[in-house]
Structure formats: C-alpha cells, structure tokens
Amino acid sequence: MGVSAKEYVEKVIEKVKAKNPGEKEFVQAVEEVLTSLTPFIAENPQYIQQNILERIVEPERQIIFRVPWEDDNGNIQVNRGFRVEFNGVIGPYKGGLRFHPSVALDSMKFLAFEQTFKNSLTGLPIGGGKGGSDFNSTDKSDREIKRFCESFMTELYRHIGPDKDVPAGDIGVSGREIGYLFGHYRRIKGAYENGVLTGKNQNYGGSKIRPEATGYGVTYFIQEMLKDMGESIEGKTVAISGYGNVAWGAAKKMAELGAKVVTISGSKGYVYDPDGIKGKKVDYMLEVRGNKDVSLKDFAEKFNLEYFEGKKPWERKVDIVVPCAIQNEILLEDAQKIVKNGVKIVCEGANMPCSAEAIELFEKHGIGFGAAKAANAGGVAVSALEMSQNSLRYQWSEEEVDSKLHDIMKDIYKKSKEMSVQYNVSLAKGANIAGFKKVADTMLMQGNY
C-alpha cells in the first residue's frame, strides 16, 4: 500500500525483465503498454490493490511442441510449434498463427500480449492468443506445406476449439494453410467444427471481406485520423512496406479512395511506383505472395518499375507511411528520415513495426501516429464476425461485413481518442488505456482470476 502508480508500474516492469530474460520483444511491448497506463492507474487504485498488472503480463498458458515432418527428399525435419493463450477473460483465446523463421517464444508472447488489448478494443467477445512455428514456408513445396500443417495440427488440435481457442492466419499462414489445418482438425475430431479457425475459404464458412479486412481497417482508421486533421485521403501519397495480406488490402482500399500508394517492399528491397499501385498491380501482389517462384523483383520488371535493392521505402517523400511487414522495421534512423520527409501520418499495419524511440520521435514532431493494436484490429474483428457467422450457420453479404468493419474501426478510433483526451496523452496511449480497461475490469469482476 502507499505505492504510487509510477512506482507500481516500474516495479512490475522490473519483475517482467527479471522473469523473462532475453525476451526483448516481449519486454518492449510490456514496457510500452504499462508505461502508458500510468495516469490511468493513478486514478484507479483498485488496479494496484488487486495487483492487476502483474497478473495481466503473465500468459495464462504457454504451449510449446515438436513438429516433425518429412520433406520431399524423404528427410525428417523438425520445427518448434507454439501457442500462447495469453488472456481468456472476455472470450475464447483468439489470434493468428505465424510461420516464419523469426518465430520463438519471445515473439509469440509479445504478439499474444498485444492481441489481448487489440481484441478488447474491437468490442467483440474474444480473448488474446497467438501461435506459430519457426517454419519457413517461402521455399517449401505445396506437399511439404501440407505435411507440415498436418503435423502441426496433430498436436495443436487438443488445445483449441470454437469455445476454447480460435487461431487464424498471420505471416506465412493464409487461406491455403488454414485449409490444410482445418482439413486435418476435422479428421481428428470427427466433427464439423468450422468455428475453430478463421480466415477460411468461403466454401466452408469463411467470411466475405476477411482477406481484405486488416488492410481495409487500417485505411478506415487513417481516414478517421485525417478527418480530425481536417483532411481527406484522396490525393495523398502513401509509402507501404510489405507485400503480404495487410499491404495488399491497404493498397486495394487506398487506390479505391483515390490515394496513391507509391511503394511496397520485401525484406530485400522496395518497388517505387510514381503512378500509384492499383488495378492489375494490386492483383499481382497476390501472385508474389502465393507463388514461391515469383519475387518482388519480378513484380517490378513486369510493370516496368524501379526496384531499390537493399533499401527500405522510408526514404521516400510521402504524406502517409504505413509499415505492413514485421516488428521493428522502423527504427530510430528510419524515423529520422520519415520526420525529415515531412510525413503527416505513420499508421502501423504490422504488429509493433515501430520501435519505442521511433514512436517518441514521431510524437515529438507532431506526426499523427496510429498504433497497431488499434489500427490493424480490422483483421481480427472480421475473424470474430466469421465466428458469429459460423455459430449462426449463415453468411453475411460483402456489404454487411464491410459496413460492420467500418463501424468497428470508427468505434476503436473514438474510444482511443476519448481516452487520449481524458488523460491528456497520445492517441496510441489512449488506445492502450481503452484496451486495458475492459480486460482489467473483467478480471476484477471474475474474481481472483
């Protein structure tokens, strides 16, 4: 008792560092969220009395498992599988599966922690989780991917279920992988529980607009930010990174609204298109993503565009920057370039693409900053709508889903903004407070949870 909010937050951060040695990304995410909660905690001593922070930073459950599979040459390969069930207080654990060489317990924990507050912000009944494997799907054959997915599900199936834990896609996991995972789950369970996974094909319960949802949602969120600045998205130039699902959805919606997306990128370089990526070019992004023999360089050649090897798109002078690739892709030196280029808005499409130093610099220079857990919540929001449709055994039209998504994004912006005004903090911190409040209050309601 008698400890101040600041002291309490610092004490919990120190404990997290001591208890999770070497988990840099998890500590980065925890530090960012907890620090931003200080003014809110100061007004609400019940969170200190009930030690909510120390409870909320500890995952409810962490599952780590072996994934052996046979490659096309008959060799047995072994990967590591994860599912972190972080917080299930407002609904079944919900969050994607990531197949990428960088996957380790650290990244799974940071993603599941962030997901908890993101899912809370959607206003829908979903808890937070994340999973995946250090499996690199980009150089594997279709048969290898299928065998890997089957082996992965052979262990995962016992931990998930429509009322328990509902995975979806993320980096390296899209409709194809979800199909193989669901097919195997169905065979093991001997029942048709299609609410166990989201991001499914529409033939077996997938929602319309789900593939587009994250990118559309980011765009709707940017529109709200612009409205507050008295501006519109039409005619704005945009630098996007990545070429996957989020980048694709954002490029598609932005082109439709009259913005000009001048870059997309991969880990080895970026493409610059002064005319703006639209129409056939947006469609061809799916080819780069889904076909291991087509690269971003091929994209540039096909459309006669310049490709900048070894460079990031942040050197371009644009109005809006939307990082849609991976965590920590905008570090301090990138942020300095962005500031110098007179960018108005940086909005996160990927999860935690900006480092803490980068965000601080944007805020110092008055650049509008949209944080991932608010801005990219559209994907998981439509996943939750997919769960609703599966429960109803029904499918909503494209217009219905898109208008629900639009409303959800406006609501997330409104909640974040209100908290930022009330506590005199940035929009990103306002989002943390709004996301945290619902989870923390529900934990209190449910007792010694």
Binding residues for NAD(+): 214, 245
Gap between the Cα atoms of 155 and 407, Å rounded: 37
Known active-site residue 200:
no
Q: Which of 95, 244, 249, 370 binds ligand GLU (CB under 6 A)?
A: 95
Q: Which of 174, 194, 223, 383 binds ligand GLU (CB under 6 A)?
A: 383
**8-state DSSP, 316:** S
Instruction: State yes or no: residue 380 binds ligand GLU (CB under 6 A).
Output: yes
Q: What is the dihedral of CA 434, 440, 442, 447, to 10 degrees?
A: -170
DSSP string, 142-163: HHHHHHHHHHHHHHHGGG-BTT
Count the neighbouring beta carbons within 10 Å of the beta carbon of residue 391. Answer: 12
Closest approach, Cβ 275 to ligand GLU, in A, equals: 30
Q: Nearer Cβ to ligand GLU, position 206 or 368? A: 206
Q: Which residue positions form the known binding site?
A: 94, 115, 118, 169, 214, 245, 383
Closest approach, Cβ 355 to ligand GLU, in A, equals: 18
The number of residues that bind ligand GLU (CB under 6 A) is: 10
CB 303 within 8 A of CB 221: no
Strand order in the sheet with 345-347: 306-309, 269-272, 260-266, 237-241, 320-323, 345-347, 368-370
Gap between the Cα atoms of 2 and 8, Å rounded: 10
Gap between the Cα atoms of 449 and 447, Å rounded: 5
Instruction: State yes or no: residue 90 binds ligand GLU (CB under 6 A).
Output: no
Gap between the Cα atoms of 439 and 33, Å rounded: 13
Closest approach, Cβ 13 to ligand GLU, in A, equals: 24
Residues 338-377, one symbol each (x = binds ligand GLU by CB under 6 A, - = not), give -------------x--------------------------
CB 318 within 8 A of CB 341: yes
Window 156-175: residues binding ligand GLU (CB under 6 A): 168, 170
Closest approach, Cβ 34 to ligand GLU, in A, equals: 21
Q: Given 130, 146, 312, 437, which residue is catalytic?
A: 130
Q: Which of 96, 123, 215, 313 binds ligand GLU (CB under 6 A)?
A: 96
Which of 89, 154, 170, 92 has the alpha carbon at shortest distance from 391? 92
Closest approach, Cβ 81 to ligand GLU, in A, equals: 16
Q: Which of 32, 41, 91, 94 binds ligand GLU (CB under 6 A)?
A: 94
Tell me which residue has its CB nearest to ligand GLU.
Answer: 96
Residues known to be catalytic: 130
Residues of this chain that bind ligand GLU (CB under 6 A): 94-96, 168, 170, 198, 351, 379-380, 383
